A and B are shown apart, each in its own frame.
Chain A
Amino acid sequence: MSRSSVPGMLIALAVLIAALLFAFTVGRYPAGLGDLFHVIAAKLAGRPSGVPHAAIDVLLRIRGPRVLAAVLVGSALAIAGAAFQGLFRNPLVSPDLLGASSGAALGTVLGIYFSLGAFAIEATAFAGGLAAVGAVYLIGSAMRARDPILLLVLTGVVIGALLGAGVGLVKYVADPYNQLPAMTFWLLGSLAATTASDLVPLVGPVALGTLVLLALRWRMNVMSLPDEEARALGVPTGPLRIAIIAAATLVTSASVATAGIVGWVGLVVPHIARTLVGPDFARLVLAAALLGGGFLLAIDTVARTATATEIPLGILTALVGTPFFIWLLAGMAKTWS
């Protein structure tokens, strides 16, 4: 790691740690970090901690899994965003560019429509995300074009619109009293229902996708060059593109299946990470993971503590993300002119 990136990485790490401390300390149930330390210290010393059992339960079974899920989802979306922005050589790309979110949304509303259980709904969301991106890739690469990337993006936009219409249709025919509110809540994103068992289907895909992206870090740097130059350096752009898209999609679909649609993280966080540690992909991914985890955790902590009822994540991330996006566009408008 070059010396110049160390401060940036430390800042990203500090953000995550601060968010973790904050998240464990506050909540609607009166239990905090102090109780957790009491329990651990008492366990080590082999004496009873005196902390009520319910408080420990809240920290370990409810707040703990949710905090971990927020960090994982935020990291995953930021990593996928960084990968897509590099791959598509475009700073305005987010991880749902190829339809992962719209596919997951359709999977979920169908799951709710057919009254499936909570886990089955997550599975349909995950499968929906993978299937959508798979379809986009197959259609986009079946056509021969001079600019395969542009074609892929356009296919993603079109398929995304089709899936959006599908979501609209299912909402239209759904039971307006029971199913429609459930669909609306899910589409706005929330981690309210997270339990420890939700972490298993989240950790696996996220870890696998991240490892693949990290293993490809050198080639990923080359992918941000134009195709011809990358090929001239001996990098097979086609297969590599599949691998990156598959890894990023795996990561995105798993997060969307757990948290619902949480926009902006995958778009905004990679930019902040880039200003902190520079464009080298390995460092960028690491910084984006730390920042994304910290950012979404902070947002989710606000979502669950600000009022007695949950504030949807999608609304909070948009409130933070929109000003940043406008700032980003303003900066780009300068370079365009």
Chain B
Amino acid sequence: MGKELNTTATWHKLALSVGVSLASMIDVASDVYTISYYHRIGKHATANLMTAFVLLCIFLQMMLVVAIHHKNRRRMVLELLGTITFTKPAFNKFRVLTNASIDGHEVSE
């Protein structure tokens, strides 16, 4: 019964997963606002530095996705899409909450 509880997909788990994506989007939105604020007040170097870190983060996450899923091209493209739309955290969390089984194409631990 415990195992079933751990693996069942429920609305609560879905809501939690969507919440994670929303939090990620709010974080990015607040970063974008801050960057535009620093451009507005003339602190261009600070704004550019912040932009560089946001882009670096997206780049590293995409590299990570490629490294993990390169053996399944379709899955890799879907995961990359999730990364650039900031929805991947929701999929990640949902898989963790439902103890999703491993496909086998991923690089091992």
Do A and B come from the same complex? Answer: no
